[in-house]
Amino acid sequence: MTGVTHSGIEIDRTTEASPEAVFAALTDASSFASWFGGSEVDVPEDRLEFNAIAGNTWRATMVLPDGNTIDWSGRFVRVDAPTHFELTLTDMPGADAPEVLVTFAVYAADGGAALHMTQNTPDFPHEQKAATLDGWQVFLDEALRIAGARS
C-alpha cells in the first residue's frame, strides 16, 4: 500500500536493484546526501554527519533551490543489513520537538527488491501527511535510482 494511514504514511516500491544495493543506497552517507531531499535539493557532505550504526545520532542540512536551508537530526534505531533500517528525524533540532520514526524494510522480490517504508506522523493534519507522502516519494525515486546504479 502507498498512501496516508491513520498513524502516518506508507510507501511500497519495487526495483530491479538487489536488496543489498537498496539497503546500501539508504544507509551510505554519500548516497543519503544524494537522495535525501530529492535531486533538486543539495545536502552538502560537509554539513552531514551520517554513520548508520544503531544508537548513533545523525545531522544533515538541506540546501533548497532558493538557497534556504532546513536542518535535520535524529538517531539510528535499527540497522540490520540488508533488510531493516529505522531512524528518527526532526526538522527542529534542539527545539524539544518530537522526532518521528521512519522504517525501511527491504526484501528480495521478483529478481530485485521490494521496499516498504513507513513514517509515523503524530498530530499531523491530513494535508501535512499528504505533503510528507509526496516528499518521500520523490526521495525514494532518487534512492532507488542510486540503488539501480549500484547493481
Helix or strand (DSSP H, E) at 150: helix 126-150
Q: How far is Cα 126 from Cα 74, in angstroms, rounded to an integer?
A: 24
Q: How do residues 83-105 score in pLDDT, each as one tens digit?
A: 999 999 999 998 787 899 999 99
pLDDT number for residue 59: 97
pLDDT number for residue 142: 97
pLDDT number for residue 117: 98
Length of the chain: 151
Q: Which fold is adopted by the domain 3-150?
A: Alpha-D-Glucose-1,6-Bisphosphate; Chain A, domain 4 (3.30.530)
pLDDT number for residue 94: 83
Q: Which positions of the chain have pLDDT values less than 70?
A: none
pLDDT number for residue 25: 98
Write down the pTM of the prediction.
0.94
The residue extents of the domains of the chain are 3-150
